[in-house]
Amino acid sequence: MSDDQAVLVLRLAAPLQSWGGPSRYNRRDTLPQPTKSGILGLLAAADGRPRDASLADLLGLHFGVRVDQPGTLLRDYHTVSDHRGLPLPSAKVDGKGVQKRTSPAKYTGVTQRYYLQDAVFTAALRGPAPLLESLEHAVRHPAFPLCLGRRSCPPTGPLSLGLHPDTDLQQILTTVPWQASAHRRRQIRTPQVMLEATVDDPTADLTVDDVPDTYNLKTGTVFSWRTVRHRWVTIPTGHPASDSPAPEQPGPGHDPFALLGW
């Protein structure tokens, strides 16, 4: 580990989050965990960078995420129509830049958008200490409003869990306290909980297509691949061992062939 490196830890919690995958157009899915593209976009917004700004210094940050509370999947079903009874506009424009009408005429559009509701994640980014110090300050004093995947998903509470000395991403995701909500903590009464974690690992075999080259709307974003490793980490819950359910007492056993007289 190096003194010129550091780790920024974020708590990602909101009533709704949505971390887009490869879906487009009328169906917008969400992945079960935050994407690197989504987190870098959040940091760029906090830092006040316009969409066409360079991401070169952010792309080298190593990324890891822990699922403190997986949440549940929500489907938001939309229908769209023109109140005047006119055909909906299409994505095409004419020579003057005016949006064309759909042909054949389409009067109702249907979209489906998916969200994670009541999810909580712990994200960690490892990189140069000066850069992360600047980003940590930006997250606490953002230039633009921050959201968790989509503009309709503002975070609940402060995002930053502080800047930590340089350490392995899996280690930091093992040592940061459990960030689940009070309701989730009441449900889990054991002294420890096992949480899923995903970290960047150049030696791993799994790949994820979520590293952006730009957020420029005019040129579009091209995503590249990164290799990751899935882990399970054990985190203390703060509950004493006496709170855990009593183990089941062994019974007489079950013989599936007894009813057949065997």
Band of residue 178 on the pLDDT scale cut at 50, 70, 90:
very high
Mean pLDDT of the chain: 90
Q: Look-up: residue for tokens 């909906």?
A: 88
Helices (H), the chain: 36-46, 56-59, 129-140, 169-175, 182-187
DSSP summary character for residue 191: S
* pLDDT, position 104: 87
* pLDDT, position 159: 97
Displacement of CA 181 from its chain's centroid (Å): 17
* pLDDT, position 20: 85
Q: What is the mean pLDDT of residues 71-81?
A: 92
Whether residue 157 lies inside any domain: the answer is: yes
120/14 Cα distance (integer angstroms): 7
Q: What is the mean pLDDT of residues 76-102?
A: 84
Question: In whole angstroms, how far apart are CA 210 and each of 56, 100, 121, 213, 258?
Answer: 15, 33, 18, 10, 56
Angle between helices 129-140 and 36-46 (to 10 degrees): 70
Mean pLDDT lowest for which of 22-31, 146-155, 169-178, 189-198? 22-31
Mean pLDDT lowest for which of 66-80, 92-106, 175-189? 92-106
Whether residue 17 lies inside any domain: the answer is: yes
Considering only CA atoms, which of 1, 22, 118, 28 is closest in space to residue 70? 118
Displacement of CA 231 from its chain's centroid (Å): 16
Residue 228 has pLDDT above 80, yes or no: yes
* Proportion of the chain in helix, strand, coil states, percent, rounded to 5: 20, 35, 45
Range of the domain at 223: 5-73+115-244
pLDDT in tens, 229-248: 999 999 999 888 875 555 55
Q: Percent of the chain, pLDDT > 70?
A: 90
* pLDDT, position 88: 86
pLDDT in tens, 3-56: 799 999 999 999 999 998 766 678 889 999 999 999 999 999 999 999 999 999
Whether residue 210 lies inside any domain: the answer is: yes
The answer to whether the CB of 166 falls within 8 A of the CB of 71 is no
The answer to whether the CB of 153 falls within 8 A of the CB of 214 is no
231/169 Cα distance (integer angstroms): 11
Q: Percent of the chain, pLDDT > 90?
A: 68
Q: What is the mean pLDDT of residues 99-113?
A: 87
Q: How many CB atoms lie within 10 A of CB 22?
A: 9
Considering only CA atoms, which of 133, 17, 129 is closest in space to residue 65? 17
Band of residue 63 on the pLDDT scale cut at 50, 70, 90:
very high
Domain with residue 213: its CATH number is 3.30.70.2660
Band of residue 115 on the pLDDT scale cut at 50, 70, 90:
very high
The answer to whether the CB of 54 falls within 8 A of the CB of 192 is no
Whether residue 58 lies inside any domain: the answer is: yes
Whether residue 107 lies inside any domain: the answer is: no
* pLDDT, position 179: 97
Q: Phi first, then psi: give them for residue 171, nearest 5 degrees.
A: -65, -45
Whether residue 53 lies inside any domain: the answer is: yes
Band of residue 249 on the pLDDT scale cut at 50, 70, 90:
low
Q: Between residues 193 and 218, which one has the greater pLDDT?
A: 193
Residue type, 211: V
* pLDDT, position 120: 98
Whether residue 251 lies inside any domain: the answer is: no
**Number of domain units in the chain:** 1
* pLDDT, position 227: 96
